[in-house]
Chain A
Amino acid sequence: MIEAIDLTKTYGTGPRAVPAMAAVSLAVRQGEALGIVGESGCGKTTTARTMLRLEEPSSGRLLFDGRDVTHLRGEALRRFRAEAQLVFQNPFDALNPRFTIRRSLAEPLDNFGVPRAEHAARIEAVMRRVLLLPAAQWLDRRPHELSGGQLQRVVLARALIPGPKLLVADEPVSMLDVSVRAGILNLLRRARDELGLAAIYISHDLALIRTVCERTAVMYRGRVVEEGPTAALVAAPHHPYTRALIAAVPVPRVDQDRTPLPIRGSLADAPPPAPGCGFRNRCPAAFARCETDTPALRTTDPGRRVACHLGD
């Protein structure tokens, strides 16, 4: 459905240029959910925004449904926007506070040229999908009359109403209470299954990603360092960074691993100079080759890729 090939996004120019995303190659099939995890500043949000063409890539190609959408403009870009939708992170400021829910849902339909006569039926159907029922009870309310979980359902409805083929959710539940998160995730999963959408979830929370994504990509300093089926990646991480990331996640059980993390330094340290692996200054297993060669993503087991010289 969507494929990024060597996508790079650099902010600024000349020697001060900062690559937010370097040579990212990822693909998501119809009906599949890909998780992108990493810490603040790893480039996961830039990757998502570029794949939605909210940012134009500095280089590389983006294919959507078999078409090249890397440099779309004007009307063609507008049509792509209807097919590739973003679910906002913060439901408390994603909706116009003065609009009724009905108007918030009608707005994207107007933007994408859906005839007015179809609006009521489309709105009714999407409200059923996000389980805000009966719809009539909700449509004339304004955002301040809804709880965070209810608002996020409206935000999801707004993303679904143009009939997209790709849904990108950037930390879709991080602003919500634990008790209602699962409800939103279940809705997202069901919408994806029933509508056959491709989905990309961006999150710092691997535990959460695991509950919704079959595949996961781990990013570090703008690069994908590991990618594979989520279950396999969590059970047996290949990249030392993935290993540290998994070890760092606390679990809601008394008996758990409390040994020190297999990692040195901090993300705040200056990045090591290129070429070479961007993780080598913190890696417990770095060796001579890591200082000189930037590891490329290579396939290990079927469906798994890792950018690390270990085991190569």
Chain B
Amino acid sequence: MSAKAASTRDGIGGVLLLVLAAGYYWLSRSIPASSLSDEVGADGLPIMLAVLLAVVASLIVAKSLLVRSRAVPVVEASVATDMEEAEDHAPILRALGFVVIGIGYMAVAPIVGFAVGIALLVIAVGLYEREALSFKLVAVAAGGGFGFWLIFVLFLGTEQPMSTLLALLTKG
């Protein structure tokens, strides 16, 4: 990554931290006072942290602006940087897709149950990672779901999502 692209990222990161500091400060101010509280209060440390983060974030932004202003203005370099920045978005979107699969598991597992949920998760990740839908993928996922259920529910006795669908069917 070029120094300019890196400093742009740092600058954006710094601004995001400033926004976080401002939001956290605003929320800290609304923490209710308590008669049981000490001199510092429940909001004492949060306010201090918000101010410190704002200072550090401002320094990060200032540093990134300084680096950007010092960057050598070569045309080819800036073209390459623009291309780099455009390419940077693809992995971020891919990563977000992965998170969506996780959210999907949160929604589906309580309905279909742990074993089926895990099998569907493995299939979804496989497909998302460009593995073709095949008997092998489904079989491995099904085996994985059963294996996870065997280990975590039956053997270790840990709590895992129960199928509301199965509960409804057995009631009916």
A-B interaction: no
Residues of A that sit less than 8 Å from B by CB: none
Residues of B that sit less than 8 Å from A by CB: none
